[in-house]
Amino acid sequence: MSKNKLLSPFKPASHKHQKCLQSAISVAKKHCEVEGLRLTPIRQRVLELVWQSHEPVKAYDILDELKRSKSSSAPPTVYRALDFLLEEGLVHKIESLNAYIGCGNPKDIHKGQFFICHDCGSVAELDDDEIRDLLQKKAKRFGFEINDEMVEIKGYCLECRELKNK
Amino acid sequence: MSKNKLLSPFKPASHKHQKCLQSAISVAKKHCEVEGLRLTPIRQRVLELVWQSHEPVKAYDILDELKRSKSSSAPPTVYRALDFLLEEGLVHKIESLNAYIGCGNPKDIHKGQFFICHDCGSVAELDDDEIRDLLQKKAKRFGFEINDEMVEIKGYCLECRELKNK
DNA sequence: ACTGTTATGTTATAATGTAACATTTGTAGC
DNA sequence: GCTACAAATGTTACATTATAACATAACAGT
């Protein structure tokens, strides 16, 4: 079956973000349990910090937060946790921003397509086989074998555009 | 008319790269002349260095080279030249590599789609409206207005795959 | 408890990119 | 040519992002 999911849509400014966070953590716990991996306190804390919003978060911002409760934290603390979470598909890196964003669908590890609003900074994630198939088709024409993909689209989300038109 | 161009294909290892370089420089000169811009010696030199190969080049590698002939060179020397060249569509930044690659088609300033070989490091650039249209269509569904796009695909080019299969 | 593996602590440094201000060079009008 | 303004470069310092390397601690299987 072909995927065509808006994995993570733009949320209205008013949405109950606590639920997003709680759900993400419980998904992560489940995932690690099933895979026999350890969601250690540091890893979980970093994941929570990444999920503080639907905007990509910077590694050193995470570090600053970590230090508030654990002064022993250092860059490797954060980057190791992020590496683990990236590896498991629990977060994605937005390359064009050097920042990290949570992903609620670690199961089948994927690379999504990201839509990033210039105004509010929020990100929507798509996981769309039509895009992937098209890229595949294009690649095939010159004998290229795809193994990793990065699609990051910037622009303006509906909510921000409507705000501006008022 | 819809674009569907392999702007810059993978080149056989044996191709005459001098021609690529010369052509790129002459295109750049023309472009700047037409636009009333100055392709200063520094800018031209940086462009030449970016075009030393079909692999993305790192800013600090360019700097190292610049220093060999002009010890006064410093990071801003390179980044300013790159900013100018990026602005004019004479180079692109590959975000996922923090590296820069020449573009031979500055006329209508575009964002291409890049295919990057893990083995040889070479990059092919596509400028394809079918991809853009599809992304546009997807974006439209949730009211997103696209204004900038980054598509960077990694994998294995034909030549490298054939080498491995021997 | 012993042992190998995984995770974390710790220090230092590499790699990438920008701010801010001084100086020089080019250009347009006189 | 001279002047004045703008554009480009020089220079120093620093900000941001990320990794190397080695020590210690926590955990899991026997």
Mean pLDDT for the stretch of residues B37-52: 97
**CATH code for the structural domain at B4-164:** 1.10.10.10
Q: Do B142 and A155 touch (CB under 8 A)?
A: no
Question: Strand C: which residues have Cβ below 7 Å from it?
Answer: A 37-38, 40-43, 70, 72-77, 80-81, 84; B 38, 58-60, 74-76, 79, 93, 98-99
Q: How confident is the model at residue B106 (pLDDT cuts 50, 70, 90)?
A: confident
Question: Which residues on B lie below 8 Å from A150 (Cβ)?
Answer: 95-96, 150-154
Strand D proximal to B73 Cβ, under 7 A = yes
Question: For position A108, what pLDDT does the model report?
Answer: 77
- The answer to whether B154 contacts chain A (CB < 8 Å) is yes
Distance from C-alpha of A92 to C-alpha of A83, rounded to nearest angstrom:
10
Find which of B111, B145, B162 to mutate to test the A interface (most A CBs within 10 Å of its CB).
B145
Helix (H) or strand (E) holding B150: strand B145-156
Question: For position A3, what pLDDT does the model report?
Answer: 67
Looking up tokens 């054939």, which residue turns up? Answer: B162
Distance from C-alpha of A118 to C-alpha of A29, rounded to nearest angstrom:
32
Through-space separation of residue B72 CA and nucleotide C21 C1' in angstroms: 17
- The answer to whether B60 contacts chain A (CB < 8 Å) is no
Q: How confident is the model at residue B2 (pLDDT cuts 50, 70, 90)?
A: low
Distance from C-alpha of A45 to C-alpha of A47, rounded to nearest angstrom:
5
Smallest CA-to-CA distance from A115 within A107, A123, A106 is with A123
Give me the residues of chain A with pLDDT under 50, please: none
Distance from C-alpha of B70 to C-alpha of B73, rounded to nearest angstrom:
6
Longest dimension (CA), chain B: 53
Question: For position B13, what pLDDT does the model report?
Answer: 85
Mean pLDDT for the stretch of residues B105-115: 86
Distance from C-alpha of A50 to C-alpha of B20, rounded to nearest angstrom:
44
Distance from C-alpha of A23 to C-alpha of A7, rounded to nearest angstrom:
14
Protein residue at shortest CA distance from C1' of C15: B60
Question: For position A32, what pLDDT does the model report?
Answer: 95
Distance from C-alpha of B1 to C-alpha of A123, rounded to nearest angstrom:
32
**Considering only residues 16-35 of protein chain B, which place a Cβ less than 7 A from any atom of strand D?**
none
Q: Do A150 and B147 touch (CB under 8 A)?
A: no
Question: For position A84, what pLDDT does the model report?
Answer: 98
Mean pLDDT for the stretch of residues B83-101: 97
Q: What is the 3-state secondary structure (H, E, C) of chain A?
A: CCCEEEEECCCCCCCCHHHHHHHHHHHHHHHHHHHCCCCCHHHHHHHHHHCCCCCCECHHHHHHHHHHHCCCCCHHHHHHHHHHHHHCCCEEEECCCCEEEECCCCCCCCCCEEEEECCCCCEEEEEEHHHHHHHHHHHHHCCCEEEEEEEEEEEECHHHHHHHCC
With a cut of 80, say whether residue B81 has pLDDT above it: yes
Question: For position A44, what pLDDT does the model report?
Answer: 98
Report residue A3 as tokens. Answer: 């995927």
Mean pLDDT for the stretch of residues B109-121: 92
Distance from C-alpha of B66 to C-alpha of A86, rounded to nearest angstrom:
37
Beta bridge partners of A117: A155
Measured CA to C1', the nucleotide nearest A93 is D17
Higher per-residue pLDDT: B111 or A93: A93
In chain A, the residue whose alpha carbon lies closest to the alpha carbon of B137 is A131
Through-space separation of residue B98 CA and nucleotide C16 C1' in angstroms: 8
Question: For position B122, what pLDDT does the model report?
Answer: 96
Q: Is residue B90 within 8 Å of B103, Cβ to Cβ?
A: yes
- For chain B, the average pLDDT equals 94
Through-space separation of residue B81 CA and nucleotide D9 C1' in angstroms: 10
pLDDT tens column, B66-76? 999 998 899 99
Distance from C-alpha of B144 to C-alpha of A157, rounded to nearest angstrom:
5
| Chain B nearest CA to A143, separation (Å) | 5
Protein residue at shortest CA distance from C1' of C18: B76
Helix (H) or strand (E) holding B38: none
Strand D nucleotides, any atom under 7 Å to a protein CB: 7-14, 16-21, 27-28
Instruction: Kindly state the percentage of chain B with pLDDT values over 70.
Output: 98
